[in-house]
Amino acid sequence: MTELKNDTFLRALLRQPVAYTPVWMMRQAGRYLPEYRATRARAGSFMDLCQHPELACEVTLQPLERFPLDAAILFSDILTVPDAMGLGLYFAEGEGPHFERPVRDEADIRALRVPDMEEDLGYVLDAVSLIRRELGGRVPLIGFSGSPWTLATYMVEGGSAKTFARSKAMMFDRPELMHALLGVLADAVTAYLNAQVARGAQALMIFDTWGGVLSPRDYREFSLAYMSRIVRGLTREAEGRRVPVILFTKGGGQWLQHMAGSGCDALGVDWTKDLADARRIVGDRVALQGNLDPCVLYASPARVRVEVERVLASYGQGHGHVFNLGHGIHPDVEPDRAAALVAAVHELSPPYHLPAAAD
Amino acid sequence: MTELKNDTFLRALLRQPVAYTPVWMMRQAGRYLPEYRATRARAGSFMDLCQHPELACEVTLQPLERFPLDAAILFSDILTVPDAMGLGLYFAEGEGPHFERPVRDEADIRALRVPDMEEDLGYVLDAVSLIRRELGGRVPLIGFSGSPWTLATYMVEGGSAKTFARSKAMMFDRPELMHALLGVLADAVTAYLNAQVARGAQALMIFDTWGGVLSPRDYREFSLAYMSRIVRGLTREAEGRRVPVILFTKGGGQWLQHMAGSGCDALGVDWTKDLADARRIVGDRVALQGNLDPCVLYASPARVRVEVERVLASYGQGHGHVFNLGHGIHPDVEPDRAAALVAAVHELSPPYHLPAAAD
């Protein structure tokens, strides 16, 4: 493998000294970029983009051509694993994801198996290999998966949910069934992430998009427990380096102390939590990634810079911070705002990493 | 006025001794009740329901006929105030609220005036008077309003928002404009709530549905500051009793310590916060209202009872707790689940209020 030229992101995730705060953006390869929309139009559907490694590679690299980002993230969908389990993922025009065969009862759940990674998810792994080669060591590549709870909600609801009626009814009335579903998903996600590392992913992120709709008790039992189980099963070293793992529960700001005990290296934090508070809560156990309100990118570039400075100041002196949005970039944002964000982080963050300030 | 026969709810909000935990449910008068759907069908539109005091009264009382609830809440919409300001509220079939004339620029905002309560919102006040008379002192009547920030988002977006692009862009780029809008709304809401008290409302609640989409700093500056200003301007005594005020920010569990300093009597808490933690944070400053996950009502009545007990145990011994859902009841819930909830609260809560345990 080519030598990694910029390891700032990996070092920050491990709370090692860095000269500036590294930055990437959730959904940095996406609809806000005209070049993404062009590739997508050429590809046909969103799933075509995901399933053709050369297209997935193309869109993964697009934001890196525009902005000096410190990490690339595999372009894929969080629902590839349930699709590989036979649920039949499809996207209706202008709508969210749907499954042809949702999981509704005990028989459906007992029939689920961990998919064969090469056979059923080879298209994702081929994309990882190709992106890694095309990156040529510029920045590290992040692999990812949805969390078991998040995947389970889509599988039980048959798509996006407003109230989580079916998945929560199963959780409350048939907890043993929900646990069986989460168990097979945890095994599948573990295998999936390890396969991504085997093909070249240099850091991993678990997206727990819907953990925040649970009560604290239910969150620990039905979401965090399975993310922790995955973390314990992950390959943590590859190519002679540690492979850092980031957990991100949207709306999980109240549970950071529990998440920090999962064995992961870093926590994603959304904008409803001050990073100063988050840092006090997690202490020196994990690094933090976040947490600019993505709606700041609807404001002027000058204002973006002010808000970037506030996030940097909120984290404060010392290492262990990866700059990011608190959620994915919105599709109707102007790309020049993303440029302003990345430039501001690189220009304004070095004073927070001066040797005297290093921890 | 008729004497109040059941003041458990008012006493609990003021942290006074009670024999059991009082209970009501957000949106208890609503679509999950067949009798509500029948009245609504007879009325025509949702706005017809709100604008005819006899219909608003009828649906307000419906849940009390079914369940031994400890409070009634005025049936109305949170957007009556912007409508009275001339924005033209309407509901398209199967969709959320819309405004014909959204507020987009400085001229729009400078033109806004506090509406005349009797002239522009008399239909709400007449409903308050009528409901109060028809209640005959059974339980107290709660008046309510949306928070300035919540109303502002609808006014600027022109309806429900997904990303809050316009309202947040105004907040970030033109904070002085957003403050002007919030200021006139705070004055209007203060007058509106005071008018409800003058007509017979015995407790008040401010619904800050969208405060939780803000960062902690922006929440304090653009939402909480205006709710605090309203609380300072409210009539706090009527008919020889204190009129308690409840603040509820959906997703505001992380900011309870700040909310508790607003001058209100109680805080609504959603289900993402343990009541034990919430109680530790607010101390003896305010009572707490909440916080069952409304999705528990998709489970069996037996399970509803188990989860009710968990919420009661989480709050623990002593007074100052009003049982409620952490958000409005979902329209597709079976009414027998609501019955199970109310019964369980009344049956299981007395041990938490034994004299030895009272604080």
Query: Which pLDDT tens digit goes with each residue over A34-45?
Result: 999 999 999 988
Q: B237-238 and B241-242: which strand pairing?
A: antiparallel
How far is B67 from B48, CA to CA, in rounded Å? 26
Q: Which residues of chain B neighbour A300 with C-beta distances below 8 Å?
A: 172-173
> Exposed, middle or buried, A190 (CB in 10 Å: 0-12/13-18/19+)?
buried
pLDDT, one tens digit per residue, over B211-270 is 999 999 999 999 999 999 999 999 999 999 999 999 999 999 999 999 999 999 999 999
The token pair that represents A251 in the structure block: 């709306």
pLDDT, one tens digit per residue, over B152-185 is 999 999 998 888 999 999 999 999 999 999 999 9
- At B92, is the pLDDT very low, low, confident or very high (cuts 50, 70, 90)? confident
Is B168 an 8 Å CB contact of chain A? yes
pLDDT at B2: 78
How far is A62 from A49, CA to CA, in rounded Å? 13
> Quick check: B168 and A293 CB within 8 A?
yes
Is B257 an 8 Å CB contact of chain A? no
Is A293 a catalytic site residue? no
Is B155 an 8 Å CB contact of chain A? no
Is B273 an 8 Å CB contact of chain A? yes
- Known catalytic residues of B are 27, 31, 40, 77, 154
pLDDT, one tens digit per residue, over B184-215 is 999 999 999 999 999 999 999 999 999 999 99
> Quick check: B254 and A251 CB within 8 A?
no
Q: How many CB atoms lie within 10 A of CB B150?
A: 24
Q: Which segments of chain B are extended strands (E)? A: 72-73, 89-91, 97-99, 141-146, 203-208, 237-238, 241-242, 245-249, 266-269, 287-292, 321-325
pLDDT at A1: 63
> Quick check: B254 and A254 CB within 8 A?
yes
> Quick check: A215 and B165 CB within 8 A?
no
> Quick check: B295 and A165 CB within 8 A?
yes
Q: Which of B172, B65, B104 is nearest to A296 (CA)?
A: B172
Give CA angle at B32 (B287, B79), nearest 5°: 65
Most A CBs within 10 Å, among B298, B300, B303, to test the A interface: B298
pLDDT, one tens digit per residue, over B69-91 is 999 999 999 999 999 999 999 98
> Quick check: A251 and B251 CB within 8 A?
yes
Instruction: Give the predicted TM-score (pTM) of the model.
Output: 0.96
> Quick check: A215 and B295 CB within 8 A?
no
Give CA angle at A187 (A113, A91), nearest 5°: 65
Q: Is the pLDDT of residue B331 over 60?
A: yes
Residues 101-140 of A with CB under 8 A from B: none
Is A176 an 8 Å CB contact of chain B? no
Report the DSSP beta bridge partners of residue A23.
Answer: A323
Could you tell me how far CA B55 lies from the centroid of its own chain? Answer: 20
Is B215 an 8 Å CB contact of chain A? yes
Name the stretches of chain A with pLDDT < 50. 357-359
Counted across chains A and B, CB pairs separated by less than 8 A come out at 97
The token pair that represents B227 in the structure block: 């709710």
pLDDT at B355: 79
- At B356, is the pLDDT very low, low, confident or very high (cuts 50, 70, 90)? low
pLDDT at B122: 98
The residue from A11, A15, A27, A132 that is catalytic is A27
Is A11 a catalytic site residue? no
Q: Which residues of chain A neighbour B254 with C-beta distances below 8 Å?
A: 253-254, 272-273
Longest Cα separation, chain B: 61
- B230: which residues sit within 8 A by CB, 6+ positions away? B148, B186, B189, B190, B193, B206
How far is B81 from B189, CA to CA, in rounded Å? 7
pLDDT, one tens digit per residue, over B261-320 is 999 999 999 999 999 999 999 999 999 999 999 999 999 999 999 999 999 999 999 999
How far is A201 from A135, CA to CA, in rounded Å? 12
Is A154 a catalytic site residue? yes
pLDDT at B96: 87
pLDDT at A114: 98
Residues 327-346 of A with CB under 8 A from B: 330, 332
DSSP state of A223: I
